[in-house]
Structure 1
Amino acid sequence: MNSSTKAALPMTPAADFEHVEHWVFDLDNTLYPPECDLFAQIDVKMCEFIMRALDVDAIEAKRVQKDFYVEHGTTLAGLMAVHEIEPAHFLAHVHDIDVSVVAPDEALGRAIASLPGRKIIFTNGSVTHAKNVVGRLGIAHVFDGIHDIVSTGYKPKPMREAYERFVQQSGIAPERAAMFEDIPRNLEVPHDLGMKTVWVRPAGEGGTERYQRLSHEGGEAPHVHHATDDLRTFLESLAR
């Protein structure tokens, strides 16, 4: 698959990143393709958790899950706000999944390792989930840190507070940072903070219909500086 960008942007972006020394990567559907569909497993786990925690059937659990996602940014945020659910129990359950569907990608690891400066994962998932995924990819050693939903006080992207907490805790300088995300709306605040932004555009049809919508809405917006459907090739072009 060839790397590509938005029509208005050139395919030789290296000069745009010469100042970057902090490289921030989303995890799910960014470091691995949506076709792996880990969220399908997480979706089932969320429904199981809600059924037990709220003593409801599967239909009601699914309604709660989706409504809270829309109203609170994440299902977890809604469960915490409305039902005072203990977040650690929720995260442990929903991220107890099989990551063997993710294929190792040592070439991606080499591309990330070649970037000058710090490499950090910033995810709405948990550290445990991130470690499982990058361990399966075989690229855990290239990252200098992982910042998860716990570190942001359970404030999810795209909330501004999540990014502000991430910047404070990681010590990155936003004006010397770049962020890679599969959801365009999650790049709006990084753009406002001064980061270079890259939309890692899903190339296939993996994931739910809602994910396909979210992962493409806003892709042409000004806060998306570059786009690619091949993260490894894009990073290799920066190294060159």
Structure 2
Amino acid sequence: MNEPQAPLPLPASGARERFAHIDTWVFDLDNTLYPQTADLWPKIDMRITLFMMRLFGLDALSLRALQKHYYERYGTTLRGLMTEHGVDAETYLSYVHDIDRSSLDPDHSLARAIAALPGRKLILTNGSRHHAIETAKQLEIDHLFEDIFDIIAADFIAKPDEGAYARFFDKLKIEPKRAAIFEDIVRNLVVPHRRGMTTVLVLPPHDEGPEREAWEIADGSEPHVDFATDDLVGFLENLIGD
């Protein structure tokens, strides 16, 4: 078993200059705005499997590989099910996001840190707007965001597809070079980095995050990652400074 890694260092005060021009702050939702040690994503992941069990009449073990195949190929399992099986998106989203969020505690430190950021704050998620709103409410940060751009707004084109970001930039009038993005899936930062966004990979603390596929595992050294942190609140507080 690998030894737990030490927490990543927070950005030095000089790194604040890299964010001085930022006026738009973009956050992924799942495993980014809430801790990767939380149980929300495992609950959603299991609901996806249950949905597929009802759809195909197969056992969970048989369907997990197909579920992950669609996720890797299409960015979301939903897109794979829509493309290859004609699944109704609203039915799917309503089912998989019907979870208990009460285990997620309000995060007042995160709320203060986000509130202190200058400019627009947005959520960009491959999930649904309803899920983002309910989760942000549970964290008590919902009032801080100007808008939520979800999979429906993206015409069901999911991150990391370039089309998802193009729709996001166009519909919300975003200048990528003046925006920063915080995201837990490393491949979802490739297009933002290419378009000029300042990219921050949010990693789990001490390797305690959710189960990851091999292609999802990253350490922040990737060329399209400008910064990496396993402490989102500390990172934001450090950027704001005194």
Structures share fold, TM-score greater than 0.5: yes
Q: Report the counterpart of residue 141 of structure 1 in structure 2.
A: 143
Letter in 1 for 2:73: E
CA distance in 2, matches of 1:232, 1:3: 13
Aligned residue runs from structure 1 range 74-85, under 5 A: 74-85=76-87
Q: Report the counterpart of residue 53 of structure 1 in structure 2.
A: 55
- SS for the counterpart of 2:110 is helix
- SS for the counterpart of 2:82 is helix
Tell me how large the CA RMSD over aligned residues is.
1.9
The offset of 1:40, in angstroms, is 1.3
Matched-pair contact (CA < 8 Å) for 1:175–1:194: yes
Q: Report the counterpart of residue 29 of structure 2 in structure 1.
A: 27
Q: Report the counterpart of residue 225 of structure 2 in structure 1.
A: 224
Deviates more, 1:120-129 or 1:60-69: 60-69
CA distance in 2, matches of 1:216, 1:103: 27
Q: Report the counterpart of residue 40 of structure 1 in structure 2.
A: 42
Letter in 1 for 2:211: T
CA distance in 1, matches of 2:100, 2:165: 29
C-alpha distance 224-63 of structure 1, shift in aligned 2 (>3 A):
closer
C-alpha distance 2-142 of structure 1, shift in aligned 2 (>3 A):
farther
Q: Report the counterpart of residue 107 of structure 1 in structure 2.
A: 109
- SS for the counterpart of 1:36 is coil
Unaligned runs of 5+ in 1: none
Number of equivalenced pairs = 235
Unaligned runs of 5+ in 2: 1-5
C-alpha distance 117-48 of structure 1, shift in aligned 2 (>3 A):
same
The offset of 1:68, in angstroms, is 1.6
Aligned residue runs from structure 1 range 119-134, under 5 A: 119-134=121-136
Deviates more, 1:145-154 or 1:198-207: 198-207
The offset of 1:112, in angstroms, is 0.5
| TM-score between both structures, scaled by the size of structure 1 | 0.91
- SS for the counterpart of 2:73 is helix
CA distance in 1, matches of 2:48, 2:72: 15
- SS for the counterpart of 2:205 is coil
Q: Aligned match of 2:99 in 97, 100, 113?
A: 97
CA deviation map 1:148-182 (0-9, x unaligned): 11111111111111111111111111111000111
- SS for the counterpart of 1:99 is coil
C-alpha distance 2-216 of structure 1, shift in aligned 2 (>3 A):
closer
Matched-pair contact (CA < 8 Å) for 1:114–1:239: yes
Deviates more, 1:51-60 or 1:29-38: 51-60
CA distance in 2, matches of 1:128, 1:215: 28
Deviates more, 1:166-175 or 1:199-208: 199-208
CA deviation map 1:32-88 (0-9, x unaligned): 111113221112211221122233333333233122222322111110011100001
Matched-pair contact (CA < 8 Å) for 1:3–1:234: no
